[in-house]
């Protein structure tokens, strides 16, 4: 296999064809005769990373699924897909949530931020990202996007947390590598309390 | 366990009025599924252990939000999240027991979306049942946890009736201690049920954990002024400090006057299918000081009638010790 055909690019390729396939086949059921009126519209406009994206979303579809497989935002990881690891953490209206345990329809009126939305237009990393780099926080990196998003949400509501407050705030993000203290150092650095 | 990335096809409704939600719920009856934060819901559906034809997302219903003062205490909208509960100044000031209990649920991300209604209405965490096995609670005729080989370390030590699962809710015992009232709306009107009667054990209804039937919507939780600013004690013991269900939790509200406990409500979580009021302890400590001697005097009273299973005897001393800690003085 071509070294350059990475898993990421492969997934993105599938995404492009998947969207085309689903739009035609999935207009269904909500209009069925025996159903009460008022079921959700499948075609949604959702605000992700400051951009409004039009996307066809199944009623039961999770945000993690929409982000990764329809919008190509594969920075959001899926670990457990059941609210038990934190890899899928994104921020909706400044609050961190599990994208695997949220329906995309539930965030249609919210502003969603994923790890792709943090760096500045000129490519400068967000202070949380820069601090995680400086503190060598990630080990394997699988949990990192989720850790970044939880730290980002924490610093929005509490710009100078104590280490204990930060520990509590980050407690919904598992790290199989056990790099917790390194992430905590990163949070403290990002909040300007460590230099 | 087979877990799937995606949930099976279902329809989704997002009503903005309670009446509409009730209408939709009644139309789908047993095939409709109310959703607050969805944090208990999606696991069942992903695992194919339970299914629904329609999800009814209640989050658009404005009248079910917010925390407000009333003539006799406070009213908490059913959609109030556990994070809101644990941060709300009014609750922190007057009913810190509830703020503490809510703050100990699961993880920050789950508390950010999990609602108080969902927390008290969530189903039991027995892994046999969650796996989709056809046990008593699922309508079958056998309990997998209560067999010689059954893994029942987390299960009940009291009041089992065929099913030995325990209540997983951290806020439930706190609400029972605070004499909360649950406001339930349905097509036939509104009824108000005390938290104590809201939870039901397997002897009453083995396939439900609460009195809620299909078409019933919990719209608010009221907390009477009676227990405002009382002395409280909350402690939850779990295998992990974050993200884990209680092995035993204890919620206590005590009215102490001149150093003497005039009245108390002491409630344990995760020891039976419903929050368990420790009435024998409440009676024993009435009129006594809240101190070490009183704490020691009740010794093993709390666990006296326990019926432990193979692997959960440890819950007896654990519960007794939590009771002692609650009584020995203000932390
Ligand atoms: C990994 C993990 C760890 C957890 N740890 C804990 C813990 O430590 N302590 C704890 O207490 N819980 C825990 N939970 C359980 C639970 O998810 C949360 O407690 C949460 O509060 C559930 O609320 P929700 O609004 O998300 O529920 P939902 O999933 O939306 O609803 C749960 C149930 O309540 C019903 N319901 C919801 N709202 C209403 C309403 N207004 N009227 C009538 N019925 C309604 C739903 O139909 C459903 O049956 C955990 C869950 C997970 C996934
Ligand atoms: S404890 Fe209850 S839920 Fe668990 S297997 Fe037995 S009957 Fe089923
Ligand atoms: S993938 Fe969402 S919490 Fe694990
Ligand atoms: S860095 Fe490997 S899982 Fe956290």
Beta carbons of A103 and B27 less than 8 Å apart: no
pLDDT for residue A29 is more than 60: no
pLDDT for residue A30 is more than 60: no
Q: What is the rounded average pLDDT for all residues in chain B?
A: 96
| CA separation for the pair A26, A24 (Å, rounded) | 6
Residues of chain A found within 8 Å of residue B242, distances taken between Cβ atoms: 168, 171-172
pTM as predicted: 0.94
Of A9-23, A32-46, A72-86, the range with the lowest mean pLDDT is A9-23
pLDDT for residue A3 is more than 90: no
Higher pLDDT pick, A3 / B74: B74
* Ligand 1 neighbours by CB, cut-off 6 Å: A 83-84; B 33-41, 43, 58, 78, 82, 105-106, 110, 113-115, 117-119, 121-122, 168-170, 212, 217-218, 243-245
Are A94 and B47 within 8 A, CB to CB? Answer: no
Sheet holding B231-237, edge to edge: B231-237, B248-257, B260-269, B276-277
pLDDT at position B2 is 52
| CA separation for the pair B282, B42 (Å, rounded) | 39
Beta carbons of B12 and A105 less than 8 Å apart: yes
Q: How far is CA A47 from the centre of its chain?
A: 13
Beta carbons of B109 and A40 less than 8 Å apart: no
Are B17 and B61 within 8 A, CB to CB? Answer: yes
| CA separation for the pair B164, A43 (Å, rounded) | 45
Reading the block at residue B331, the tokens are 């932390």
Reading the block at residue B14, the tokens are 């997002």
Are B35 and B58 within 8 A, CB to CB? Answer: yes
| CA separation for the pair A189, B125 (Å, rounded) | 39
Residues of chain A found within 8 Å of residue B83, distances taken between Cβ atoms: 95
Judge if the beta carbon of residue A148 lies within 6 A of ligand 4: no
Dihedral of CA atoms B90, B68, B65, B76 in degrees, nearest 10, equals 70
Fold observed for domain A127-190: DNA polymerase; domain 1 (1.10.150)
Mean local confidence (pLDDT), A127-145: 98
Instruction: Give the tens place of pLDDT for each residue, A139-181.
Output: 999 999 999 999 999 999 999 999 999 999 999 999 999 999 9
Beta carbons of A60 and B57 less than 8 Å apart: no
pLDDT at position A35 is 60
Q: How many CB atoms lie within 10 A of CB A20?
A: 9
Reading the block at residue B207, the tokens are 């396939």
Residue tagged 């280490």 (tokens)? A163
pLDDT for residue A18 is more than 50: no
pLDDT for residue A36 is more than 80: no
Q: How far is CA A147 from the centre of its chain?
A: 10
Secondary structure element (H or E) that encloses residue B85, with its range: helix B82-87
Reading the block at residue B210, the tokens are 């609460």
Mean local confidence (pLDDT), A60-75: 97
Longest distance between any two alpha carbons in chain B, whole Å: 61
| CA separation for the pair A178, B325 (Å, rounded) | 33
Q: B312 phi and psi, to 5 degrees?
A: -125, 25
How big, in percent rounded to 5, are the helix, strand and coil portions of chain B? 30, 25, 45
Atom 4, ligand 4: which residue's CA is nearest?
A175
Atom 46, ligand 1: which residue's CA is nearest?
B34
Domain ranges across chain A = 40-117, 127-190
Best residue for ligand 4 mutational test, from A77, A138, A170, A186 (most atoms within 8 Å of Cβ): A138
- Of B216, B150, B155, nearest to B187 by C-alpha is B216
Reading the block at residue A80, the tokens are 């457990």
Residue A128 Cα distances to A51, A133, A166, B31, angstroms = 22, 9, 13, 45
Per DSSP, chain A holds a count of helices (H) and strands (E) of 6, 5
Positive or negative, the CA dihedral A163, A166, A170, A171 is: positive
Ligand nearest to the CA of B239: 1
Q: DSSP 3-state assignment of B228?
A: coil
Query: Is A127-190 in the same CATH topology as A40-117?
Result: no
Instruction: Give the tens place of pLDDT for each residue, A76-110.
Output: 999 999 999 999 999 999 999 999 999 999 999 99
10-residue averages of pLDDT along chain B (331 residues): 75 97 97 98 95 97 98 97 98 98 98 98 97 96 96 97 98 98 98 98 98 97 98 97 96 96 98 98 97 96 97 98 94 60
pLDDT at position B329 is 85
Sheet holding B54-57, edge to edge: B11-13, B54-57, B32-35
Domains, chain B, with CATH or none: 7-331 (3.30.465.10)
- Which is the closest atom of ligand 1 to the Cα of B64? 41
Atom 3, ligand 3: which residue's CA is nearest?
A83
Higher pLDDT pick, A20 / A38: A38
Q: What is the rounded average pLDDT for all residues in chain A?
A: 87
Q: How many CB atoms lie within 10 A of CB A173?
A: 29
Are B152 and B311 within 8 A, CB to CB? Answer: yes
pLDDT at position A194 is 86
pLDDT at position B158 is 98
User: What contacts B34, CB < 8 A, 6 or more positions away?
Assistant: B21, B25, B56, B58, B217
Q: DSSP 3-state assignment of A166?
A: helix
Residues of chain B found within 8 Å of residue A98, distances taken between Cβ atoms: 109-110
Rg of chain B on CA atoms, in Å: 20
pLDDT at position A9 is 53
- Write the ipTM: 0.95
Are B271 and B248 within 8 A, CB to CB? Answer: yes
Fold observed for domain A40-117: Ubiquitin-like (UB roll) (3.10.20)
**SS in 3 state form for A47-101?**
EECCEEEEEECCCCCEHHHHHHHHCCCCCCCCCCCCCCCCCCEEEECCEEEEHHH
CA of A79 to the centre of ligand 3 (A): 5
Positive or negative, the CA dihedral B38, A96, B87, B238 is: positive
Interface size, chain A vs chain B, as Cβ–Cβ contacts under 8 Å:
108
């Amino acid at each position: 296999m071509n070294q350059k055909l990475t898993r990421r690019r492969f997934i993105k390729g599938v995404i492009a064809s998947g969207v085309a396939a689903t739009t035609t086949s999935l207009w269904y059921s909500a209009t069925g005769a025996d159903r009460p009126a008022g079921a959700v519209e499948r075609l949604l406009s959702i605000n992700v990373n400051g951009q409004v994206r039009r996307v066809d979303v199944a009623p039961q579809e999770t945000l993690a699924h929409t982000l990764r497989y329809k919008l190509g935002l594969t920075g959001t990881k899926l670990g457990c897909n059941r609210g038990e690891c934190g890899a899928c953490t994104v921020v909706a209206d400044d609050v961190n949530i599990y994208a695997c345990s949220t329906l995309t329809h539930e965030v249609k009126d919210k502003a969603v931020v994923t790890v792709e939305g943090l760096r500045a237009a000129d490519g400068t990393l967000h202070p949380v990202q820069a601090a995680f780099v400086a503190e060598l926080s990630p080990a394997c990196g699988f949990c990192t996007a989720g850790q970044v998003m939880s730290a980002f949400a924490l610093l929005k509501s509490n710009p100078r947390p104590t280490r204990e407050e930060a520990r509590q705030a980050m407690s919904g993000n598992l790290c199989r590598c056990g790099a917790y203290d390194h992430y905590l150092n990163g949070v403290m650095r990002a909040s300007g309390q460590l230099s | 366990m087979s877990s799937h990335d995606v949930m099976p096809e279902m329809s989704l409704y997002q009503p903005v009025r309670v009446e509409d939600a009730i209408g939709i719920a009644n139309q789908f009856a047993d095939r409709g599924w109310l959703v607050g934060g969805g944090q208990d819901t999606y696991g069942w559906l992903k695992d194919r252990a339970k299914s629904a034809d329609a999800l009814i997302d209640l989050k658009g219903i404005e009248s079910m939000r917010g925390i407000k003062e009333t003539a006799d205490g406070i009213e908490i909208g059913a959609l109030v999240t556990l994070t809101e509960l644990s941060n709300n100044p009014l609750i922190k000031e007057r009913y810190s027991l509830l703020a503490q209990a809510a703050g100990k649920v699961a993880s920050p991300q789950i508390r950010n979306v999990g609602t108080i209604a969902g927390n008290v209405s969530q189903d039991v965490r027995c892994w046999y049942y969650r796996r989709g096995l056809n046990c008593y609670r699922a309508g079958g005729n056998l309990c997998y946890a209560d067999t010689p080989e059954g893994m029942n370390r987390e299960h009940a030590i009291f009041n089992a009736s065929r099913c030995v699962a325990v209540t997983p809710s951290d806020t439930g015992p706190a609400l029972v201690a605070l004499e909360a009232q649950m406001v339930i709306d349905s097509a036939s009107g509104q009824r108000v049920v005390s938290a104590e009667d809201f939870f039901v054990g397997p002897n009453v209804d083995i396939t439900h954990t609460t009195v809620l039937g299909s078409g019933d919507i919990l719209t608010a939780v009221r907390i009477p002024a009676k227990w405002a600013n009382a002395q409280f004690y909350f402690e939850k013991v779990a295998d992990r400090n974050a993200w884990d269900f209680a092995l035993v939790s204890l919620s206590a509200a005590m009215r102490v006057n001149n150093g003497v406990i005039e009245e108390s409500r002491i409630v344990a979580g995760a020891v039976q299918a419903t929050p368990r009021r420790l009435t024998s302890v409440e009676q024993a400590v009435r009129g006594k000081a809240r101190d070490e001697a009183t704490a020691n005097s009740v010794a093993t009273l709390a666990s006296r009638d326990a019926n432990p299973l193979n692997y959960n005897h440890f819950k007896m001393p654990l519960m007794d010790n939590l009771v002692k800690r609650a009584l020995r003085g203000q932390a």
